[in-house]
């Protein structure tokens, strides 16, 4: 039962009113319905009757009193006897139940006693229908208890931190102006980010106290703060009402509603709502002023705020959720040995694929290093002069040959895509970590180069230079006559090639660092071109020179003269030819697979959407990506983008956000052929392919792909959690569309099977492919969370979101949009937005924030609660978690996946794709 539960006795006798409060009772809120103690409020009313005795003049009426209704439970005589039929009691019962009295005779209405009206007044006063503060109904246990958390003026992100922090900020701000706080700095003082909203709050608080002027002292600030931080919902409601009621007449007009909507939209950076403030003000007045009085009162506003939550948690789920919370409490193992074993066990379970690959790689490197070290230690003539230095140099060189060969393999995208799509190696090999492995090998190369170069330059060459003639004699066959100049060794072909390679690799490694590649370095303007993706892209192609020099370096060895012992080219042969084949394939495929641009749209948030024709034979999976080249921007640059169309669509689409020089120029060249959208189409600028003279002249675009990505494996899971951060929603949108298409295809297949079973035999030619498709597609439930900062971002996929909402009849996909620019639900600055959202969605089925049929949540998701909900709903299941977005959220989502996998029966497999 959602209402507050308690027993009260109301006594009414003759013309006197006497209230006798008995001990309140609060019943349980869970358990079987037939055993639940339903709290009631019982009332005794005296109905005068000439034949009744003193005791018989009382009746006991038992009521179920809720926040917004009073329901009759029973009516009986006070002495426990049966109650005779009475027209007045019948009318009283029907009136208390708020049932229609249509059909009752007018004579019964005229016979209704004035005392009944007085009783009704008393009931209203004690059940908070009256707005007197002394008769307020305690809402803390009611269905509207969620509202008590609402209308907070200081959120946890603002950092108010109580009066002590506010007082300190006041002292700092007013140190130079005689202890007076100006209105313009009121928001800064109380810790409220939105200055304009803080100014309106200041005006409301000052208006209530008849204060004039634009400044206050500390005493008034303390009064203001006490009211702002008041935990009573009634006090918060009154403060909010005062903000809207600018003329302080106790009534809110439509113009005042429009102003507060505009203010709330501005505080939450919702420009679309700000533009439609007048329309939404009319919507609120239509809801709260049905009699067209031209104003609304505080009780109307409260009624809207105290609407019951739209979703409730079932008792079973609530109990499971509570048990899960208890189970997930962190436990600390005091025994260090057991703690280490436990941590090692979990680490191996979660990372066994990475562990065996890294162990194999490290083991091979150790073996090669040891092999070369021992080989040169046994060469007495060399070891006698150069000692352990040459052993270290040659051991490091052998690992360098291996690493310079295999560093090419993780970037052979076609090979990796083929292996993960056509073989079962994906079970044991972590293909998703290919770029991470590429970076790890690069670090190993840097270490190997350091050991090799330092050992030669600072140890081997000086020892050769300072060796006695007798010691040097065996070295003549390798180095010639003993020189008297150190640079004799450096200026040799081997020395020059080695130094040039070190310089080129240092440049490539430096510009590949995130701070340089993402353009975060604050360098002088002339050096600014050394940062960004373009610098990274071109510097990485220095590897062509590096590999050429490496082969030459390996041929002109000092200490090795036999050709079959010069193994550098043997290490490089297969990987280099494989990589060259990859590049040749990409070049030919991109030139053959010409695409025609069908539609272009420029959206808020600097996003460019390209819809293009699908080349013949271009097959891809949702979640994969492809490379895009535009000669009008740069004929040599190729950039990867996730495919946002579904495999079943007859077109290809990508959504490109402007993040660097290349994407900025691409947006510019396409914007030049676009125009303002017409006929209510979305986007800031649009251009559609049309036949005839009006057809826009689109820049030429080449594509290369598709390539495998972590998200393409979603079909392996019956339950998936898809998380997209900003533009990271692109692969998830393709997956969501694909899920809907697959579900629809399966439904059609089942319907066809039923029809065929009724008389038409199944086609044997089409049966195997269909059954195979059905077998491969396992997904039965999907949760999609899209988190973005700007309201305009929802325009990117507005059509797709509406399409999914309309097509998903079986509610397979649960869509959640989050707009982080809006203050969290319960904040006073977003309270009116939440009210508008509920009203407009109920009336028109459209969310005012996203403009789609999917309601938008405010602020950031509570990811622990998201995982908990899925764990409760899907016990003993394996859930695929797929994240695409900035690296900042990766750690939290991965850690939560590990925590819930270790401590619940639901297993979460985390996959990420960062940009």
> Which residue is it, tokens 């209510």?
680
Q: What is the pLDDT of residues 748-794, one digit of tens each?
A: 777 777 777 654 444 443 444 444 444 466 778 889 999 988 887 88
Mean pLDDT, range 72-92, rounded to an integer = 50
Return the minimum-mean-pLDDT range out of 221-235, 294-308, 339-353, 409-423: 294-308
Q: DSSP letter at 816?
A: E
Kindly tell me the burial class for residue 163, based on how many C-beta atoms sit within 10 Å of its own C-beta (0-12, 13-18, 19 or more).
middle
Top CATH class of 714-750+775-820+860-912 equals alpha beta
Asked if pLDDT for residue 331 goes beyond 90, the answer is no
Q: Regarding predicted confidence, which is higher, 369 or 331? A: 369
Return the minimum-mean-pLDDT range out of 92-106, 156-170, 189-203, 375-389: 92-106
Q: Regarding predicted confidence, which is higher, 397 or 256? A: 397
Tell me if residue 41 falls in helix, strand or coil.
strand
pLDDT number for residue 407: 93
Residue burial 610-634, b: 16+ Cβ < 10 Å; e: rest: bbbbbeeebebbbbbbbbbbbeebb
| Biggest CA pair distance of the chain | 142
List Cβ neighbours of 717 (8 Å cut-off, separation of 6 or more): 778, 779, 878, 879, 880, 909
Rounded to whole angstroms, how far apart are CA atoms 900 and 878? 11
Confidence tier at 396 by pLDDT (50, 70, 90): very high
Mean pLDDT, range 203-218, rounded to an integer = 84
pLDDT number for residue 161: 60
| 529: nearest Cα among 514, 539, 540 | 539
pLDDT number for residue 80: 54
Q: What is the pLDDT of residues 840-873, one digit of tens each?
A: 777 788 888 887 788 888 888 889 889 988 888 8
Q: What are phi and psi of 82, to 5 degrees?
A: -75, 145
pLDDT number for residue 342: 77
pLDDT number for residue 28: 34
pTM strictly above 0.75: no
Asked if pLDDT for residue 88 goes beyond 50, the answer is no
Q: Kindly report the average pLDDT of the chain as a whole number.
A: 75
Rounded to whole angstroms, how far apart are CA atoms 810 and 808? 6
pLDDT number for residue 110: 41
Asked if pLDDT for residue 639 goes beyond 70, the answer is yes
Q: What is the pLDDT of residues 21-71, one digit of tens each?
A: 333 333 333 333 333 344 444 444 444 444 444 444 555 666 555 444 445
CATH assignment of 595-706? Answer: 2.40.30.10
Task: Name 64's bridge partners.
Answer: 71
Asked if pLDDT for residue 89 goes beyond 60, the answer is no
Mean pLDDT, range 466-479, rounded to an integer = 79
The percent of residues above 90 in pLDDT, for the chain, comes to 9
Mean pLDDT, range 411-431, rounded to an integer = 85
Q: What is the pLDDT of residues 648-670, one digit of tens each?
A: 888 898 998 887 778 888 888 88
Asked if pLDDT for residue 398 goes beyond 50, the answer is yes
Return the minimum-mean-pLDDT range out of 96-105, 516-525, 574-583, 598-607: 96-105
Asked if pLDDT for residue 255 goes beyond 80, the answer is yes
Q: Regarding predicted confidence, which is higher, 473 or 324? A: 473
Asked if pLDDT for residue 522 goes beyond 80, the answer is no
Mean pLDDT, range 192-206, rounded to an integer = 83
Asked if pLDDT for residue 223 goes beyond 80, the answer is yes
Asked if pLDDT for residue 140 goes beyond 70, the answer is no
pLDDT number for residue 21: 39
Question: What are the structural domain ranges in the chain?
Answer: 353-491+562-587, 595-706, 714-750+775-820+860-912
Asked if pLDDT for residue 891 goes beyond 70, the answer is yes
Other C-beta atoms lying within 10 Å of the C-beta of residue 822: 27
Residue burial 247-268, b: 16+ Cβ < 10 Å; e: rest: eeeeebbbebbbbbbbbbbbbb
The percent of residues above 70 in pLDDT, for the chain, comes to 74
Rounded to whole angstroms, how far apart are CA atoms 388 and 384? 9
Return the minimum-mean-pLDDT range out of 107-111, 563-567, 653-657, 867-871: 107-111
Task: Name 559's bridge partners.
Answer: none
Q: Regarding predicted confidence, which is higher, 565 or 714? A: 714
| 235: nearest Cα among 316, 299, 165, 151 | 151
pLDDT number for residue 184: 85
Q: What is the pLDDT of residues 781-837, one digit of tens each?
A: 889 999 988 887 888 888 788 888 777 777 788 888 888 888 777 677 777 787 788
Confidence tier at 313 by pLDDT (50, 70, 90): very low
Confidence tier at 144 by pLDDT (50, 70, 90): very low
Confidence tier at 592 by pLDDT (50, 70, 90): low
Q: Give the start-end residues of each E strand in 117-231.
A: 181-182, 215-216
| 344: nearest Cα among 354, 332, 352 | 352
Return the minimum-mean-pLDDT range out of 42-51, 370-379, 712-721: 42-51
pLDDT number for residue 325: 62
Other C-beta atoms lying within 10 Å of the C-beta of residue 551: 16
Mean pLDDT, range 663-681, rounded to an integer = 78
Mean pLDDT, range 326-340, rounded to an integer = 70
Rounded to whole angstroms, how far apart are CA atoms 693 and 811? 45
Q: Regarding predicted confidence, which is higher, 151 or 429? A: 429
Asked if pLDDT for residue 439 goes beyond 80, the answer is yes
Sequence-ordered alpha helix ranges (H) in 306-387: 315-327, 336-378, 380-386
């Amino acid at each position: 039962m959602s209402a507050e539960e308690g027993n009260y006795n109301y006594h009414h006798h003759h013309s006197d009113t006497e209230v006798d409060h008995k001990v309140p009772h609060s019943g349980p809120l869970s358990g079987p319905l037939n055993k639940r103690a339903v709290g009631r409020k019982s009332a005794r009313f005296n109905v005068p009757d000439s034949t009744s005795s003193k005791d018989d003049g009382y009746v006991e009426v038992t009521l179920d009193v809720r926040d917004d209704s009073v329901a009759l439970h029973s009516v009986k005589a006070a002495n426990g006897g049966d109650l005779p039929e009475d027209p007045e009691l019948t009318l009283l019962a029907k009136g208390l139940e708020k049932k229609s009295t249509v059909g009752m005779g007018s004579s019964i209405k005229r016979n209704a006693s004035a005392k009944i009206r007085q009783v009704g007044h008393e009931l209203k006063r004690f059940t908070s229908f009256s707005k007197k503060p002394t008769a307020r109904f305690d809402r803390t246990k009611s269905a509207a208890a969620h509202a008590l958390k609402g209308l907070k003026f200081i959120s946890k992100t603002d950092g108010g931190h109580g009066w002590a922090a506010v007082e300190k900020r006041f002292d700092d701000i007013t140190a130079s102006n005689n202890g007076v706080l100006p209105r313009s700095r009121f928001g800064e003082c109380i810790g409220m980010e939105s200055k304009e909203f803080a100014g309106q709050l200041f005006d409301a608080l000052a208006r209530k106290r008849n204060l004039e002027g634009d400044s206050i002292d500390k005493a008034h600030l303390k009064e203001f703060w006490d009211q702002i931080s008041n935990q009573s919902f009634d006090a918060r409601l009154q403060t909010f009402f005062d903000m809207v009621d600018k003329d302080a007449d106790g009534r809110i007009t439509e113009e005042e509603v429009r102003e507060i909507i505009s203010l709330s939209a501005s505080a939450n950076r919702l420009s679309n709502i700000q533009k439609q403030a007048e329309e939404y003000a009319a919507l609120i007045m239509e809801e709260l002023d049905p009699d067209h009085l031209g104003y609304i009162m505080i009780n109307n506003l409260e009624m809207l705020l105290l609407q019951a939550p739209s979703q409730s948690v079932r008792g079973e789920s609530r109990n499971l959720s509570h048990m899960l919370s208890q189970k997930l409490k962190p436990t600390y193992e005091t025994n260090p040995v057991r703690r280490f074993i436990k941590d090692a066990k979990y680490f191996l379970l979660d990372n066994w694929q990475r562990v065996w690959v890294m162990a194999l790689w490290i083991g091979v490197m150790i073996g090669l290093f040891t092999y070369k070290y021992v080989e040169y230690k046994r060469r007495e003539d060399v070891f006698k002069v150069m000692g352990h230095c040459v052993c270290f140099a040659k051991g490091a060189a052998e690992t360098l040959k291996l690493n310079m060969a295999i560093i090419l393999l993780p970037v052979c995208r076609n090979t990796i895509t083929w292996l993960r799509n056509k073989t079962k190696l994906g079970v044991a090999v972590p293909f998703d970590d290919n770029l991470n492995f590429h970076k790890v090998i690069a670090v190993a190369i840097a270490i190997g180069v350091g050991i090799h170069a330092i050992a030669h330059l600072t140890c081997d060459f000086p020892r050769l230079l300072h060796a006695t003639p007798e010691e040097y004699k065996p070295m003549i066959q390798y180095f010639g006559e003993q020189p008297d100049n150190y640079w004799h060794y450096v200026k040799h072909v081997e020395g020059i090639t080695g130094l040039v390679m070190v310089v080129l690799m240092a440049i490539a490694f430096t510009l590949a660092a995130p701070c340089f590649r993402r353009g975060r370095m604050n360098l002088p303007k002339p050096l600014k071109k050394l940062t960004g993706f373009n610098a990274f892209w071109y510097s990485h192609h220095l590897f062509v020179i590096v590999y050429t020099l490496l082969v030459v370096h390996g041929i002109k060895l000092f200490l090795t003269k036999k050709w079959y012992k010069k193994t550098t080219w043997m290490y490089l042969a297969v990987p280099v030819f494989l990589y060259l084949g990859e590049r040749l394939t990409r070049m030919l495929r991109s030139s053959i697979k010409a695409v025609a641009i069908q539609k272009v749209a420029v959206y808020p948030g600097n996003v460019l959407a390209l819809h293009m024709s699908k080349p013949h034979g271009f097959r891809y999976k949702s979640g994969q990506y492809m490379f895009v080249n535009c000669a009008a921007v740069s004929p040599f640059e190729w950039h990867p983008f996730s495919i946002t169309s579904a495999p079943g669509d007859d077109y290809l689409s990508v959504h490109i956000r402007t993040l660097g020089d290349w994407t900025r120029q691409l947006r510019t060249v396409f914007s030049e052929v676009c125009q303002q959208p017409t006929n209510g189409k979305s986007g800031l600028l649009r251009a559609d392919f049309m036949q005839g003279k009006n057809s826009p002249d689109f820049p030429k675009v080449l594509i290369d792909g598709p390539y495998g990505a972590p998200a393409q494996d979603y079909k392996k899971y019956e339950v998936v959690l898809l998380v997209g951060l900003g533009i990271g929603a692109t692969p998830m949108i393709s997956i969501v569309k694909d899920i809907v298409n697959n579900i629809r295809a399966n439904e059609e297949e089942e319907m066809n099977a039923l029809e065929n079973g009724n008389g038409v035999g199944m086609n044997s030619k089409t049966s195997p492919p269909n059954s195979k498709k059905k077998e491969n597609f396992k997904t039965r439930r999907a949760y999609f969370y899209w988190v973005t900062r700007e309201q305009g971002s929802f325009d990117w996929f507005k059509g797709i979101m509406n399409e999914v909402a309309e097509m998903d009849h079986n509610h397979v996909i649960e869509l959640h949009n989050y707009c982080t620019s809006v203050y969290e639900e319960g904040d006073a600055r977003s309270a009116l937005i939440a009210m508008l959202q509920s009203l407009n969605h109920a009336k028109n089925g459209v969310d005012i924030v996203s403009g789609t049929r999917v309601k938008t949540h405010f602020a950031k998701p509570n990811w622990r609660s998201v995982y908990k909900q899925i764990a409760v709903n899907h016990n003993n299941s394996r859930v695929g978690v797929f994240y695409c977005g900035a690296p900042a959220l990766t750690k939290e989502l991965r850690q939560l996946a590990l925590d819930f996998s270790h401590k619940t029966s639901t297993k979460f497999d985390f996959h990420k794709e960062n940009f």
